Structure 1
Amino acid sequence: MFTGIVEEVGEIVDVRQSEELVVLTVRGPAVSQDAAHGDSIAVNGCCLTVIDDEGASGELFRLELVPETLKRTSLGAVTAGSKVNLERAVPAGGRLGGHIVQGHVDGVGVLVSRTPGERSDEVRFSLPGELSRYVVEKGSIAVDGVSLTVAATDGETFSVALIPTTLADTTLGMRKPGDTVNLEVDVVAKYVERLAAGYLGGSGGEARIQ
């Protein structure tokens, strides 16, 4: 589990095709200091597993992308030199600084517009239709692994306000209109929907009166 509090902005050093897999070599001095084979690290909000390293050491670590990950996230588009948000899995007893983030990407959005302010930016993203019901004003959403609060939504897009720390310490400060981002909606909303399904006349139907 993650919290959506990015520890550092890392860099993709190498992208290599290995049969059906894509192997990424990532530079991340902070998150690699105690990374071991089998550990989980979120890369742009996608939970990936560290693999044994032959040749990469110190501040470098390697990860494998399976076809499902390539299909459902924006990571298939990264190249050597791409900047990525990195976060290690939160330890038991660690602080939940953002919100509960699984690292399971629900969909890919596009940065539609950004309005710079004196110290903060208002940024609007497209929202895949199947995710719109989980996104509510003042609710939580992870964008490229960054825990954010939804400022407004119209069902097709949503906007967030990026504070100076977020602009400086994550890749969201570098993003421009047209860039794709990984989205993970609040898992609590999905569980509530699932549990409530037994009381509804159908998906989105009226509640049954027992």
Structure 2
Amino acid sequence: MATLILLNKPFNVLCQFTDTKGRATLADYVDVPNVYAAGRLDYDSEGLVLLTDDGSLQARIASPRFKLPKTYWVQVEGTISDEALDALRHGINLNDGPTRPAQARRISAPDLWPRQPPVRERRQIPTSWLELTLSEGRNRQVRRMTAAVGYPTLRLVRWAVGDWTLQGLAPGESRVLSVHLSQGASRPARRQGGQRPTPKPRTHATRHKRSP
């Protein structure tokens, strides 16, 4: 039995437990000993980070060879075109090689928490949202992919890793699960029609606030 923590990492929090520059880290939100992040999420991205005390589970979540799908809700500058979505679905040629084909679709603006600080708005330029599901995890891959098709990313929220989602977790909140290694980690996320449920905060989740 492994411990698995689902954390809704806030914006501008490092996906590590220490920092020499005084920035917010996972240690400000997770006080369970001997757990480690299974994969990373950029400092300026928000959303689901999985942590575990089990090395095998960590590898099955984070290793590219298991191709565990990761789903992102992405706000981009401009009204994204069908051509751009098709390009994302077929794979993008980045400077470190072509990406795997992704699942990409338009979604309505999700009912998310306000970001702090807010996304900079430009009144003359519209924005749009898409759901993007990847089976790989290169450095800043989502941002590079949307920029390559002409739509810079403004806000990036990781909503799901495999079957695990942010459902019920506000920023900074976490949930602790017990996982049988033979079960969840390698199981692909279910894909269903329609928009996924948007996260709704629940008061029973654990929330740790960063000290001033």
Please classify the TM superposition score into its range, dividing by the shorter chain length.
Answer: under 0.3
Larger Cα-atom Rg: 1
TM-score (norm 2): 0.27
Structure possessing the higher relative contact order (Cα contacts under 8 Å, 6 or more residues apart): 2
